[in-house]
Amino acid sequence: MGIDHINDIERLKKINAALISRVERSMDQQGNAFSLFQTAINLENTVRRRTEELRSTLRRLEQSNIDLVEAKEAAELANLSKTRFLAAASHDVLQPLNAAHLSISALAELQVGDEGRKLVRQVERSLETMEDLLRTLLDISKLDAGVVQPSVGAVSLDHLFSSLRSDFLPLAEQKGLDLRFRSTLASVRSDRSLLRRILQNILSNALRYTRSGGVLVGARRRGDVIRIDVADTGCGIPEDQREAVFEEFNRGSRAMGLSAGGLGLGLAIVRRMAGALGHSVDFTSVVGKGTVFHLEASLVSMAAAETQSAIVELERPPGYGLFGTKVLLIENDEPVLEAMCTLLERWRCTVRTAVDSAEAIEALNGGDWAPDIIIADQHLDQGDLGTETIADVRQLLGRVVPALIITADPSDEIARTAKARNIEMMRKPVKPAQLRALLAHLLA
pLDDT in tens, 80-115: 666 666 655 556 666 777 777 777 777 777 777 777
Q: Are residues 126 and 164 in the same domain?
A: no
Q: Are residues 134 and 162 in the same domain?
A: no
Of the two residues 17 and 437, the one the predictor is more confident about is 437
- 307 in Cβ contact with 154 (< 8 Å): yes
* Closest alpha carbon to 104 in 84, 88, 83, 119: 119
Average pLDDT rounded to a whole number, residues 339-345: 87
| Alpha-carbon gap, residue 1 to 10, rounded angstroms | 13
Classify residue 83: in a domain, yes or no.
no
The residues with which 153 forms a beta bridge, in sequence order, are 190
- 360 in Cβ contact with 392 (< 8 Å): yes
- 213 in Cβ contact with 180 (< 8 Å): no
Tell me the CATH number at 197: 3.30.565.10
Last residue of a domain, one of 315, 345, 361: 315
∠177-180-184 over CA atoms, to 5°? 170
User: How confident is the model at residue 41, as a pLDDT?
Assistant: 77
Q: Are residues 333 and 436 in the same domain?
A: yes
Q: Are residues 183 and 289 in the same domain?
A: yes
227: confidence class by pLDDT, cuts 50, 70, 90: very high
Contacts of 127 (CB under 8 A, 6+ apart): 97, 100, 101, 104, 429
| Alpha-carbon gap, residue 384 to 333, rounded angstroms | 13
Q: Are residues 220 and 197 in the same domain?
A: yes
* Tally of structural domains, the chain: 3
Q: Are residues 271 and 401 in the same domain?
A: no
Helices and strands (DSSP H and E) totals, the chain: 11, 12
Global confidence as pTM:
0.48
Long-range contacts made by residues 208-212, C-beta under 8 angstroms, separation at least 24? 208/260, 208/261, 208/262, 209/234, 209/235, 209/252, 209/258, 209/260, 209/291, 210/175, 210/177, 210/234, 210/235, 210/290, 211/175, 211/235, 212/176, 212/177
pLDDT at 320 over 70: no
Terminal C-alpha separation, the chain: 154
Q: Are residues 308 and 202 in the same domain?
A: yes
Classify residue 298: in a domain, yes or no.
yes
* Closest alpha carbon to 136 in 243, 10, 19, 248: 248
- The range of the structural domain enclosing residue 124 comes to 97-145
* Per-residue model confidence as pLDDT tens digits over 152-187: 888 888 888 888 888 788 888 888 999 999 988 888
| Alpha-carbon gap, residue 330 to 332, rounded angstroms | 7
Phi, psi angle pair for 325, to nearest 5°: -70, 135
Q: Report the DSSP pairing between strands 280-286 and 214-222.
A: unpaired
Classify residue 106: in a domain, yes or no.
yes
Q: What percent of the chain has pLDDT over 70?
A: 75
pLDDT at 265 over 90: no
Least confident range of 15-24, 82-91, 215-224, 416-425: 82-91
Last residue of a domain, one of 315, 341, 376: 315
User: How confident is the model at residue 27, as a pLDDT?
Assistant: 58
257: confidence class by pLDDT, cuts 50, 70, 90: very low
* Closest alpha carbon to 139 in 270, 234, 320: 270
Classify residue 38: in a domain, yes or no.
no
Q: Are residues 118 and 177 in the same domain?
A: no
Q: Are residues 306 and 402 in the same domain?
A: no
| Alpha-carbon gap, residue 142 to 87, rounded angstroms | 9
The mean pLDDT of the chain is 78
Classify residue 437: in a domain, yes or no.
yes
Last residue of a domain, one of 262, 288, 315: 315
